[in-house]
Amino acid sequence: MTCYTEATVKEIAHPAFPYPGLGGCAVEAYRLGPVVLVVLRDQDDHGGPSVTNALEQVCRKVHQELLAPKGLDRPQTYWVHQSRVDGTASLVEFRAPQALEGPRRQLLPPEEFARILEGFEAPDPLEEWIREGALRVEEWEEIRIEHARRRPN
């Protein structure tokens, strides 16, 4: 009998994982008992095809080079792709999960994505982007204030 701890462990944090076509994305992997969550985040300046356009290749490379060496190549692996440009997140399921072929995306509402991250005790990406300097708080506040002015009462 295998006994799993219920503590979440952040196993991988790779800020600029290179993938075929000279692109790069941020990769984070979290383990909660027998379940692994992998979050792939496009970079603004990935310099090649986006994760969306190279999803199978990116997932295979992450699986081979990051997950397998750490023993995280498990049957219960969930893949989420988040676009840094518009912030949308999608749950990615594969028609052939072992081969990571035939990806299908299911858009995750922001609340559901936040709930998934919270379940794995993962940090909010918006907060991370502000800390990294990718989003400046002043600009964010200006946009929020301007949007509030335009809304009809």
Tell me what the mean pLDDT of segment 69-97 comes to.
Answer: 88
3-class DSSP assignment, residue 45: coil
What band does 9 get if pLDDT is binned at 50, 70 and 90?
low
| Structural domain harbouring 33 | 8-122
3-class DSSP assignment, residue 43: coil
Residues 128 and 62 in one domain: no
**DSSP single-letter state for residue 4:** -
Residues 37 and 53 in one domain: yes
CA 71 and chain centroid, separation: 19
pLDDT tens digits, residue range 99-153?
A: 999 999 999 998 898 888 888 887 766 555 555 554 455 554 555 565 556 555 5
E strand residue ranges, the chain: 8-19, 23-32, 35-42, 77-82, 89-96, 101-108
Residues 17 and 55 in one domain: yes
What band does 6 get if pLDDT is binned at 50, 70 and 90?
very low
User: What's residue 38's pLDDT?
Assistant: 93
Which value, in Å, is the radius of gyration of the alpha carbons in the chain? 17
pLDDT(57) > 70? yes
Q: Could you tell me the pTM of the whole model?
A: 0.71
**How are beta strands 77-82 and 35-42 bridged, if at all?**
parallel
Residues 36 and 62 in one domain: yes
Tell me what the mean pLDDT of segment 34-51 comes to.
Answer: 76
Specify the amino acid at residue 36: V
Residues 93 and 75 in one domain: yes
**Tokens in use for 12?**
């991988």
Q: What's the full length of the chain, in residues?
A: 153
Task: Please name every residue paired with 19 in a beta bridge, in sequence order, or none if there are none.
Answer: 23
Sequence-distant (6+) residues with CB within 8 A of 12 are: 27, 28, 29, 66, 67, 70, 72
* Spatial CA neighbour of 37 closest among 65, 62, 2: 62
